[in-house]
Amino acid sequence: MEPIILIHGGAGTIRRDEMTSEREAAYRAGLENAVLAGQRVLRAGGSALEAVTAAVLRLEDEPLFNAGRGATLTASGQAELDASVMEGTTRRAGAVAGLRRVRNPILAARAVMERTKHLMLIGPAADALADEAGLTMVEPDYFVTPHRQAQLAAAIEAGRVALDHDLPAASRMGTVGAVAIDRDGHLAAATSTGGMTNKRDGRVGDSPIIGAGTWAEDATCAVSCTGQGEAFMRCAAAHEVASLIRYRGLTAQEAAEEVILRQVPANGGSGGMIVIDAQGRPGIAIGTEGMYRALARGEAAPEIAIFRDPAG
C-alpha cells in the first residue's frame, strides 16, 4: 500500500478577491509544515495513527488555524479545546472536550485512548489526565490572542455565535484534521478545534464526537470533518461516509459529497471533510468557498490547495 496523508485546516476560506499573496503564503506554509510532518512518519514506516497525530500537532501550534494556539474564544473570553483520534485496526479511539490548559489537545485525546479504559474525558478531568501523562501544560491565557479577543468583541456586538467561515475575511480560520493510510493498509483519523466564536461555555461540537467529526476503520475509511458541529452531529457525518461506502459501494469522493453537499445542508449546516478509503483513495468534499488542505502520497511532494476549484 502506498502511504498517503491528507489534512485540512478548516472549511470556509478567504475569498480569492480578499486573499493577499502574503496571507496565502502563510496558510500554504502552515499546511505544508503539517503534511510533511505526517509524511515523514509514513515514509519511515510509522503508523497512520502516528502520522495523523504528528500533522495535527503542527496545526495546533500554528495560530492561523482554529485549534490549539489559534483557538476561538467562548462568550466568557476563554478557550475551550476539543479533539479526537481514532485508529482503524481495532477502532480504538480517544477524545477530549473543554480543555483549558493542554497545549496540544490531540495528545490529550491520545492519552485518553492509551492510558484509560474510557473513550472521552471532559473539562478539568481531561486537563488532569494530560498533566498526569506528562504533556505540556500552559496557563489559559496562552490561548487568548489579541486577534481572537477582537473577533469575540465583534461577535458579541453583533449578537452572534459564529463559525470562522462566517466571519470577516481577516478572521477566517478553521478546525484542523488529518486522515492517513500506512504501508500496512491501516487507517487513522484525528480532528482538533477551538469551536465557535462566542459559543456558550461548555458547548461541544462534532470534532471530539466519534462518528460525527472523526471516524476510522480499516474496512471502509478514515474521515475528519469541519463545519457547523450541530449539523454534523445530527447526521453522524463521519460514520455516514463509512456506511455509504460499506452498504452502497460508493467511492470515498462520492460518499463525502453525499454527506457534505446534501445531508449536512439538510440539517442546517455547511462545511467540508476529508476521507481516505481502504484502497487508499482520497475524497475531498467542500460545501463552502474553500477548505485549507494538503495531500502527500508516498515520496511525492505535497499537493496544497485552498479554494474549492481544482486550481486551488
Residues identified as active-site: 175
| Residues in a beta bridge with 74 | 199
Indicate the burial class of 254 (C-beta count within 10 angstroms; 0-12, 13-18, 19 or more). middle
Identify whether the C-beta of residue 39 lies closer than 8 Å to the C-beta of residue 84: no
**Three-state secondary structure along the chain?**
CCCEEEEEEEECCCCHHHCCHHHHHHHHHHHHHHHHHHHHHHHCCCCHHHHHHHHHHHHHCCCCCCCHHHCCCECCCCCCEEEEEEECCCCCEEEEEEECCECCHHHHHHHHHHHCCCCEEEHHHHHHHHHHCCCCECCHHHHCCHHHHHHHHHHHHHCCCECHHHCCHHHCCCCEEEEEECCCCCEEEEEEECCCECECCCCCCCCCCECCCEEEECCCEEEEEEECHHHHHHCCHHHHHHHHHHHHCCCHHHHHHHHHHHHHHHCCCCEEEEEEECCCCEEEEECCCEEEEEEEECCCCCEEEEECCCCC
Neighbours of 219 (CB within 10 A): 12
Which residue in the block uniquely carries the three cell numbers 484502497?
Answer: 279
Please give the grid coordinates belonging to residue 240: 455516514
Residue type, 136: T
What Rg, from alpha-carbon coordinates, does the chain have? Answer: 17
